[in-house]
Structure 1
Amino acid sequence: MSIVARVVRFSGRWQASIVKLATDASVCRGFVLGFITVHVLLWTVILTLLKAAQDIHFDVAEAFGWGQSYLFGYGKHPPLSGWVAGLWFSVFPTEDWATYALAMTVVGVGMLICWMIALRVVDRRRAFFVVVMLALYPVFNFKGFKYNPDLLQLVTLPLLVLAYLDAFDKRTVRSGVWLGIAAALALLTKYWALTMIGAIGIAALVHPARMAFLRSPAPWVAIVATAIAMVPHAIWLVRVDFLPLSYAEDTYALSTRAVALRYVRGYVAHNLALLAVPLVLSAVVLAWGRWRCVFVADPIALGGGQARPDMLRAQAINVWIIQAVVAIGPVLGAMAFTVHIKTDWGISLFFLVPLCVTAIPALRIQQIALPRILLIWLTISLLLLAVSPLIATYTMQRNSAADYRTGARSELARDLTAAWHRRFHRRWSIVVGMTEIGQPMTFYSPDHPVTLCPNEKWPSGLASPVAAKALGFVGICDPNDYRFQSCEAWMRSHASGAEHIVMPTHRVFRGRAGPRTDWSVYFVTPQTADSR
């Protein structure tokens, strides 16, 4: 047998094995779990190499800081992202790779839940196709490097949709309780979940089979369960005078509709570009040598040969309605209320798009499409794994000292910790600085001091000026920050008599020196013992 013939034979066997593993009811769950695990591990390594010349994003460091104390809220956001970070870093070390592992684990759990959603709408063949499409969606790989409430919603919002589909199917008290708990978890991640809750509400009201669901106890039990689960956070919200809502209004309210339109355009363009990656690659796979047969009625797609074809079609309608509402609603809302809609707010809103596409009955997805799209994912991932070190070196050369990624904040944290211990021979408890500089100190310093932001209207509740004065603090002002003068003014007001120095730092990566930053640093002497 010739080499070509052997390659062709091996290729055929490999493709047949992939199809069997992805579609056989007895092994598909293990295969999907294995694929997701490989994706998580592979992309953890890729991100670690890709970001080797950089510090972690301050959002990640902020979540770590929140997780040092389990509160019912943290100033700007509900508590769940902080709780998850606290649990994660109680097991894993405070190293950069652990933050990327956390982000990819969140992404992986979200992918698994999306596969479970897909199984309620389409057959196993299409469900696996959906999972690989998500693996190709940049939000589930390089865009997902930054753990924060937005990324955690890739778990809680799919979980909410899954719970709704379950309640819509079973219409029992128990399914209603699970739906209510899922809604509460979504809200405790970020109030942005109201967009998905609203979309589910609209789906329940306009669905052709709505009366069977609305006459059941499930939706009403869900409302009660959500309200009960939210009571502790609601009490905290009242105690802090609705601080997160004030933060949202002060930060994202715009003066004119023209400005809102500009942000809407950026939001739409950004998220369409991200979605184009899996959609275009999937289209290439489906049209591979058979472009004339892409749109052919596929009777198996929505329940042919399944026990409940009517429910599968009904669930597809639910998914289409939900995705349509969350795609259009935030854009219309941003224009109506002149809100600054951030591009990252779309991270959690489009995970249903691959399922919406694959659930189209006329779209033909042949078995050969599974190994082909899997091969594309593997090729892209391995290619990025190979070039990641080169990209890391390039970013080191390109970025300036003003860039948080290469501003040598981790080096500063270690230097300041040593300087504090030389002066006061005790734990460093509080750092005062803007989020972009204070939170990295919390993460990178072995003492993990709590961050207090000067002049912040929405304090996390972890530190206060009174505590800072009693325990002493290190104040840091970044000369490259546009708020440098206001930071210095706060230090003059609250750190009178402090030791003031200029501490220079720069990063050396693979023999190349990065930009230098001269930090304005204040050491304030402790007045009481640290109780921690």
Structure 2
Amino acid sequence: MAGQSNPSDDLWVKSELIEVPFDFAFSAMAARSDEAPARWRRPLLKWLDGVERGWAVPLLLAVFAGLWLTFLCIAYLSGDLHPDVLETWTLGRTFEWGNPKHPPLMGWVTRVWTSVFPLTDWSLQLMSMVNSAVALWCVDLITRRFVKGDKRIIVLLLLMLLPTYQFHAQRFNANAVLLAIWPLATYCFLRSFESRHFVWAAAAGATAAIAMLGKYYSIFLIGSFVFAAICHPQRRAYFGSSAPLVSVAAGLIVLGPHLHWLATTGAAPFGYALAHAGFRFGPALDEALFFFLGIAATLAIPAATWVMIAGYRLKRFPQDFRNMNDGLRLLSLIAVGTIVFPMVTAVVLGTDMPSLWAHQGLFLLGVLIVCGTSYPIERFYTVNVAVMTAGIALIAVVVAAPIHAVYRNNHAYEEGRNFYRSAALELTRQWHQHTDMPLPAVSGDDALAFATAFYSPDHPRYARPFAYQYSWGLPRQTTLKRGWAGLCFEGDAHCIEWMQKTSARAAQFVTSQFVVQSTLLGMPGASRRVIALIVPPAAEDTVTPPTGQSNEDLSAQKRMQSPSPDK
């Protein structure tokens, strides 16, 4: 009847209003803001106008790196560099095509960096942040092939909300070195697949090989390239060209020296990698599940931010996904491979698979979600996300970093990084009480040994071969004759026992104990006792151990220690 409404229509209208009332409010607010922006927004709008002019993205990356470098410098005032960073620097001191633990790329990068910059904490922290900035720049290389202007910035801002490019990156190791290599290799493969040009095909193969030189986990990226190429609608054109063969040839040329090293040294890194295997089916399935859940948790904040941006337009996602262009479809297949292949491997091989290992590939999801949208993003949202990202960084620098520094000054890190520099300097001082020669070699607790190599003015070499890093092998007689020192934390029974066995091999030695204390701007903090064993060079006159520090006392010290887990 005229004048009467259909109850079902009323229900539909009510449900629509219930589902998205804030969407309409935000859309109206966005429209008003874009028409008449507030005064405080205008500098940011001018910055966004510079995206396609070429200066806005570099400025964003420079500010990002600068803010988080400041955070690291403040937050770790009472702590030294992470053991992973110190180990990476140690690996890079000699140029090798491999080592028994990881492929060599991280050591090469650190060696090149420290040949230009000084051996200081801020220098290597700067290296970590520059690596993040380069990684985000490589992501933008991909993004700009699909979108322009604000969407390019949105991709970078969403990635900056991840913990990947600040906290994960500051531990520069075999995982962090992939942050820049993975997007660069993906960009080269994308260009190779689209153009099938010789140069891009060679670049794709070479960058994929460099990723393998970073960490063997990159086999999942290469496998995803193959998977994406096979499943893509344009596979005939790609595989019918010379591009795949050129990529394989270029990759083998780059990897050739490392493959030769593996063949002639027993492929020790594979043994280190397989040491993670051995899980039964149930625990391995749990590892795969936790891998996926870990990725989901990492993406939570940028995902929630994107929901606020897209609002009711999220319902367009299925249609937008179906209408993706060929380039985005290729990236979507690569993204699937980088997540699914590690999960399958964890189950099949029975190995652990921390989600942290996948962080360098999360950029693919950011690119796909933003670049795959068919609708424009109002500047209202771009400015808001920029302000939120900058606000988080500023709060981290001004509030969180000082609190972290004060807390860690009084509550030491479990790995003892509050005490690395102090222990290294005290050991060096004691060494020079017995000889004028620089301290040539050091081992013992790995973290203390790496730290001594870095922080000591003598920069001794790390004396334990990496092939025996976890087996507590004793120093060779030739090492002891040239002079050597070892450090252990009090309470580390395995290290103390190893130190006792080492002293039994030395013709002369000196043992000591000293307390090192954390300080923050002159304020004393936590303390810890360190045990040192010094074996002076054989050419020196015999050194009489100080009273109370003979090898018998070292044995007594060992018996007093409580057991600790194997390293």
TM class by shorter chain equals 0.7 to 0.9
Please tell me whether the aligned partners of residues 284 and 351 of structure 2 are also in contact (alpha carbons under 8 angstroms).
Answer: yes
String of CA shifts for 1:223-245, please: whole Å, max 9, x gaps. 01111111111122122211111
CA distance in 2, matches of 1:298, 1:365: 18
Q: Compared with structure 1, are the counterparts of its residues 199 and 398 closer, same or farther at alpha carbon in structure 2 (3 Å cutoff)?
A: same
Match of 2:45 in 1: 16
Aligned equivalent of 1:56, options 72, 81, 84 = 81
Q: Compared with structure 1, are the counterparts of its residues 486 and 228 closer, same or farther at alpha carbon in structure 2 (3 Å cutoff)?
A: farther
Match of 2:236 in 1: 211
Once the 2 structures are TM-superposed, how far is the Cα of residue 487 of structure 1 from its aligned partner?
A: 2.9
Moved more, 169-178 or 490-499: 490-499
Match of 2:390 in 1: 378
Aligned equivalent of 2:312, options 292, 315, 340 = 292
Once the 2 structures are TM-superposed, how far is the Cα of residue 218 of structure 1 from its aligned partner?
A: 1.1
CA distance in 2, matches of 1:464, 1:187: 32
Match of 1:437 in 2: 448
Match of 2:154 in 1: 129
- Uncovered stretches (5+) of structure 2, i.e. residues with no partner: 1-35, 541-567
Once the 2 structures are TM-superposed, how far is the Cα of residue 489 of structure 1 from its aligned partner?
A: 5.0
Aligned partner of 1:404: which letter?
G
Match of 1:35 in 2: 60
Please tell me whether the aligned partners of residues 70 and 83 of structure 1 are also in contact (alpha carbons under 8 angstroms).
Answer: yes
Match of 2:515 in 1: 504
1:506-525 aligned within 5 A: 506-525=517-536
Once the 2 structures are TM-superposed, how far is the Cα of residue 258 of structure 1 from its aligned partner?
A: 3.3
Once the 2 structures are TM-superposed, how far is the Cα of residue 33 of structure 1 from its aligned partner?
A: 0.9
1:322-471 aligned within 5 A: 322-362=334-374, 365-387=377-399, 388-399=401-412, 402-406=414-418, 408-453=419-464, 457=468, 465=476, 468-471=479-482
CA distance in 1, matches of 2:77, 2:189: 41
Match of 1:181 in 2: 206
Aligned partner of 1:137: which letter?
L
Once the 2 structures are TM-superposed, how far is the Cα of residue 499 of structure 1 from its aligned partner?
A: 1.4
Q: Compared with structure 1, are the counterparts of its residues 458 and 391 closer, same or farther at alpha carbon in structure 2 (3 Å cutoff)?
A: closer
String of CA shifts for 1:252-287, please: whole Å, max 9, x gaps. 123423333444444333332221122222333x05
Once the 2 structures are TM-superposed, how far is the Cα of residue 474 of structure 1 from its aligned partner?
A: 0.5
Match of 1:221 in 2: 246
CA distance in 1, matches of 2:202, 2:529: 55
Aligned partner of 1:369: which letter?
Y
CA distance in 1, matches of 2:201, 2:459: 41
CA distance in 1, matches of 2:539, 2:102: 31
Residues 1:276 and 2:287 aligned together: no
CA distance in 2, matches of 1:351, 1:175: 21
Moved more, 269-278 or 435-444: 269-278
Match of 2:262 in 1: 237
- Uncovered stretches (5+) of structure 1, i.e. residues with no partner: 1-6, 303-309
Residues 1:105 and 2:130 aligned together: yes
CA distance in 2, matches of 1:87, 1:454: 22
Once the 2 structures are TM-superposed, how far is the Cα of residue 116 of structure 1 from its aligned partner?
A: 0.4
Match of 2:291 in 1: 267
So what's the TM-score if we normalise by structure 1? 0.87
Match of 1:307 in 2: none
Q: Compared with structure 1, are the counterparts of its residues 91 and 480 closer, same or farther at alpha carbon in structure 2 (3 Å cutoff)?
A: farther
Aligned partner of 1:243: which letter?
A
Aligned partner of 1:10: which letter?
R
Residues 1:92 and 2:117 aligned together: yes
Please tell me whether the aligned partners of residues 475 and 491 of structure 1 are also in contact (alpha carbons under 8 angstroms).
Answer: no
Compute the RMSD of aligned alpha carbons.
Answer: 2.7
So what's the TM-score if we normalise by structure 2? 0.82
Q: Compared with structure 1, are the counterparts of its residues 196 and 262 closer, same or farther at alpha carbon in structure 2 (3 Å cutoff)?
A: same
Moved more, 263-272 or 140-149: 263-272
Please tell me whether the aligned partners of residues 228 and 333 of structure 2 are also in contact (alpha carbons under 8 angstroms).
Answer: yes
Residues 1:116 and 2:129 aligned together: no
CA distance in 1, matches of 2:334, 2:487: 46
Once the 2 structures are TM-superposed, how far is the Cα of residue 441 of structure 1 from its aligned partner?
A: 1.2
CA distance in 1, matches of 2:507, 2:431: 18
Please tell me whether the aligned partners of residues 472 and 527 of structure 1 are also in contact (alpha carbons under 8 angstroms).
Answer: yes
Aligned partner of 2:312: which letter?
R
String of CA shifts for 1:166-203, please: whole Å, max 9, x gaps. 10111022111111111121111111111101111100
Please tell me whether the aligned partners of residues 455 and 490 of structure 1 are also in contact (alpha carbons under 8 angstroms).
Answer: no
**% identical equivalent positions:** 24
